[in-house]
Chain A
Amino acid sequence: MTNADRTRSDALTELIRASTDRRWSHRTSGAGVVPFAAGIEAWSHELRDGGVHEGDVVRANVSRGTDWAELVLAALRLGAIVWLQAPIDGPAWELVAPQGGPPLGTDTALVLPTSGSTGSRKHVELTRRELVDFGSVISDRYGLTDSDVVMLFTEPPFDVVVEEVFGALAVGATIAAPEQRVMMPIEFAECCGQLDVTVANLPTSYALQLARLAPGPLETPLKTLVIGGERLSWDGAEAVLATFPGVKIFNAYGLTECCVTSTVHEVGDPAIARADGTRPLGVPIGRPLDGVRLRVVAEREGAATVSDMVTDTDPDPDPDPDLVTDTDPDTDPDPDTDTDTDLVTDPDPDTDLVIGELVVGGRRVADGYLGAPRSRPGSPFAPEVGGTWFSTGDRVAWQPSTDLYWFLGRYDNQVKIQGQRVELEYLEQQCAIVDPGWRWAAIPVRSSFEEVTQIRLVSDNPALGDSKERARVERAIRARLPSPRLPVKVTYVHDMPQLQGDKINRRLLETRMNEDGGR
C-alpha cells in the first residue's frame, strides 16, 4: 500500500489491513461482490488530499451502506477520529477543527450520539481499543466466521452499525448492504437470498412486524438473527422463530454509553426456555459479554445487591432513593403500580429474582458524555477504582441461580419505540406549547407482542373533537418532535380520567387506549 507510512499503527489498523488483505468484501445487489480494499483506498486518498491527519476529527455524513463503512475505516486507518451524525445534505465528510470542540481522548476512534429524544444530544467516545475488543467479543458470541455475510441494516449514527461493521471486520466476514432498508417480509427474504445474507441485526419492532405480516415461514440463507432494542415477549419470540425457522435467534441488550451491546441471550426453544416462573418476564437479555460487569441496585431491602460475578466491593451500598423508587405519591395511590415500570406481571415468587436498576461496568464503558465531567452531580457515570460504572435507568430482573437478566422497563417515563428512546414528559411539554391551557398525557400503546407501537397524545380540549382541528394540532406537534416520523397520534377524550387533585390517571388512560387502539 502506498500510504503505509501514513497510517496509524495499532491493533485497529492491523485488523483493517488484515481483513482487506483477506479480500474482505461487500455485496450490493447491483454490483455483486466488491473487495473493500479499493473503496477504502479511494476514501483514504480523498481524505489525505483533503488534509486529514492523525488525530483530526472528520464528520461522516454518508447516509448508510458500504460507502459508510469504507469511509469510516479509511479515516480510522489514517488515525483520524470519526464523528457520526444523522446524515444531512452536503459533502460526504468534512474536517472539523480540532480546537472547535471539547477535547477528545488520544485513543478515540468514534464519537457517537446517544439515543435520546430531548433537546440537545449527548455524545460518547468509543476508543480504537474498544472497537477491536468489542468486534472480537461480539463476533465470538454470535459465532461469526469469515464465510458469513452480515447485512448492513442499521442506519448511522445508530450504534448497532458499530456491531455490524466491527463484528464482521473482526473475523473478515463479508458485509452486504441492501438497497432499501425497511422491506416487506417477502422483499426481505428475497434480499437475503440475493445477497446471501447469513447474519442480520434488526430492531425488535421491525423483526416483530416482519413476523406479523409474513405469509408464512420465510425461506432465507439466514443462520443468525440478532434482535434488540426493546423488550421481547415470548409470544413475539415464537412468532419470529416461526417466521425464520432454523435460524439462531439472539436477543441483545446494550447502550451506546457502554459500547453498544452488554448482554446477549440465545432464544432457543421457547417451550423449554419458558417452562418456569420467569415466563411473564419475557425473553431474557441473557448474560454479560466478556469484559462487561453488571450490578443490580435492588429495589427492596434498602441495600444494593451486588450481582457482579467478579468479587466487587461497592463503596456506596446505599442506592440513590431517586433511582430505585420512581413513585410520585401525588399521582399514584399505589406505589407498586407507578409509571411504566410494572407493565410486567409480577413473576413467580419462587424464582429467586432480584429486581432493580441495572448498572453496567467493565472495560468498555465510556468515561462520560463528551464535554460533561462525569463527576458532575446527577451524572449517570460513576468513576471507581477499576473503571467507570454507568447507571442505565433500566429496570431489570436478575436470577442469581442462572445469572440471567431480563429487561423490564424504565425507571423514568422513557419508552422505546422503533429503537428510539422517547421521554413522555417531553412529548407532553411540546403538546402544551402547541395547545396551551389544556391537559395532555402521552400514553404508549402496545401491540399483542407488547412492544410500543404508537404514542397517543391525549387531551380533553373539546376543540379536538373536530377531526380537522385534531389534524392541525397533530401537525403542529409533530413539527416540534425530534423525529417527525415518530408514530404519535393526537387523541381526544371527553372524560379525562382523574385522580385526586386534578391529576391525570395515566394508568387508567393507558388501559383504555390499549383497549381502543392497541390492535
Chain B
Amino acid sequence: MGEDRTNDELMPSDVASKHDEKELLRALFSELLEIDDVGMNDDFFDLGGESLMAMRLVARIEERTGTRLSLRDVFDWPSPAELASRLPANVERPA
C-alpha cells in the first residue's frame, strides 16, 4: 500500500478537496492500469502506463474535473499525489 503523505503546504480549507482529488486520481490510475492497490506515490509509468495511456488519463481527468492538464504534467508529476497538485484548486492557492 502506498502511504498517503500529507503536504505541509496545504491550507486547512484545501484539505478536503485535496484529499478528494488525490483519491480521484488514484481511482483513475487504478481504472486505467487495472491495478487494485495503487499507492499515492506510485509512478504511472512504473506501473505500466505509457504515453497513449497517459493521454487517456489526461482525457479522463478533464471529464471528471473539467481541468485540462498537459500530457507533460503526467510525465513531470507521475504519481496521484503529485498530479493532484497540478489541479487548479491547489495550483492557485495563495502562497
Contact = CB atoms under 8 A, between A and B. Distances in A.
A182 B71 contact: yes
A255 interface: no
A488 B45 CA distance: 12
Interface residues of A, number: 25
Given A213-B56, A213-B59, A486 B34 contact: no
A180 B71 contact: yes
B52 A209 contact: yes
Contacts of B71: 180, 182-184, 187
A485 B54 CA distance: 11
Nearest to B51: A182
Interface in B58-72: 58-59, 68, 70-72
A33 interface: no
Contact of B45 (A206, A485, A517): A485
A90 B58 CA distance: 32
Given A186-B68, A187-B70, A187-B71, A213 B48 contact: no
Nearest to B33: A489
Interface in B16-52: 34-37, 45-48, 50-52
A453 B48 CA distance: 13
B55 interface: yes
B48 A467 contact: no
A478 B35 CA distance: 15
A459 to B, nearest CB: 15
A453 B51 CA distance: 11
A205 interface: yes
Of B35, B37, B52, B70, the most chain A CB neighbours within 10 A belong to B52
Nearest to B38: A471
B55 A468 contact: no
Contacts of A489: 34, 48
Interface of A: 180-184, 186-187, 205-206, 209, 213, 418, 453, 467-468, 471, 474-475, 478, 485-489, 517
Interface of B: 34-37, 45-48, 50-56, 58-59, 68, 70-72
Given A180-B71, A471-B35, 19 more contacts: A180-B70, A180-B72, A181-B51, A182-B71, A183-B71, A184-B68, A184-B70, A184-B71, A186-B68, A453-B52, A467-B36, A475-B46, A478-B48, A485-B45, A485-B51, A486-B50, A487-B48, A487-B50, A487-B53
